[in-house]
Structure 1
Amino acid sequence: MTSITDHDAYIASAPEQFQPSLQRLREILRRVLPEAEEIVAYSMPGFTIDGTVVASYAAFSRQCGLYLLAGAIAEHAEEIAAAGLTATKTGITFTPRKPIPDDLVERLVRTSRQGVVG
């Protein structure tokens, strides 16, 4: 992807099969983080509160990723594993065929937010 400056452009430039998943994720993040500012940092769209990136997302050639503060991933590790998803210290990868359940996204983002405004 070329230099992207906003979420709409990022989603539009992502592989077509990932665009609906990215749009859904953005909508959930906007709803759960109404006070956050939408940014693009490190070529990924994200949401920041008080200068801290609380959540971001990305599309790659074979999957998408949701990135949060490490505490959120750790706190929900069992739920992530139960959903059959792969996680690192700060991210979860998913595909349109195996998305992150919306309710899990909401819990993860709320937990990540607590790490900033706790």
Structure 2
Amino acid sequence: MTTPADHDAYIAAAPEPFQPTLRRLREVLARVLPEAEQIVAYDMPGFRIGDAVVASYAAFSKQCGLYLRPHALSEHADEIAAAGLKATKTGITFSPRRPVPDDLVERLARTSREDAGA
């Protein structure tokens, strides 16, 4: 995938089965982070407040990823595990068949924003 111009272009270029999941993720993040600028950084769509990228997402060949500030992931590690998802220090990988629940995305995004001091 070439570097997309914006979130819409990124989602349109993603594998078709992932597009509804990516659209939903974008909607939830935009609702929770209304003050954030929607950007593309590191070839991924993201949400920036001031100088801090507080959330971003991506599609790969077999899975999607939600990326947040490390404190958000460690703060919600038990909830992530309870949802049957795998997390790294910077993100959660998931499939469209088992997306990150909207309410968990909301809590993660709020914690990421707070961690960024925004």
Q: For 1:51 and 1:41, locate their aligned partners in 2 and report how far apart those are by CA, in whole Å.
A: 12
Summarize the alignment of residues 1-118 of structure 1 with structure 2, pairs less than 5 Å apart: 1-117=1-117
Runs of 4+ in 1 over 6 A off after TM superposition: none
- 2: CA distance, partners of 1:5 / 1:52: 20
Shift of the alpha carbon at 1:2? 1.1
Identity, % of aligned pairs? 73
Residue segments in structure 2 that go unaligned for 5+ positions in a row: none
Q: CA deviation at 1:117?
A: 2.6
Distance in 2, matches of 1:3 and 1:82, equals 34
For the residue of structure 2 that corresponds to 1:117, the secondary structure is coil
TM-score by length of 1: 0.98
RMSD: 0.7
What letter matches 2:17 in structure 1? Q
Query: Could you tell me how far apart the structure 1 residues matched to 2:95 and 2:66 are?
Result: 11
Letter paired with 1:10 = Y
Q: Which runs of 5+ in 1 are unaligned?
A: none
Q: Distance in 2 between matches of 1:109 and 1:17?
A: 24
TM-score where L is the length of structure 2:
0.98
Task: Kindly state the Cα deviation for residue 35 of structure 1 after the two structures are TM-superposed.
Answer: 0.4
CA distance in 2: counterparts of 1:35 and 1:98, whole angstroms: 28
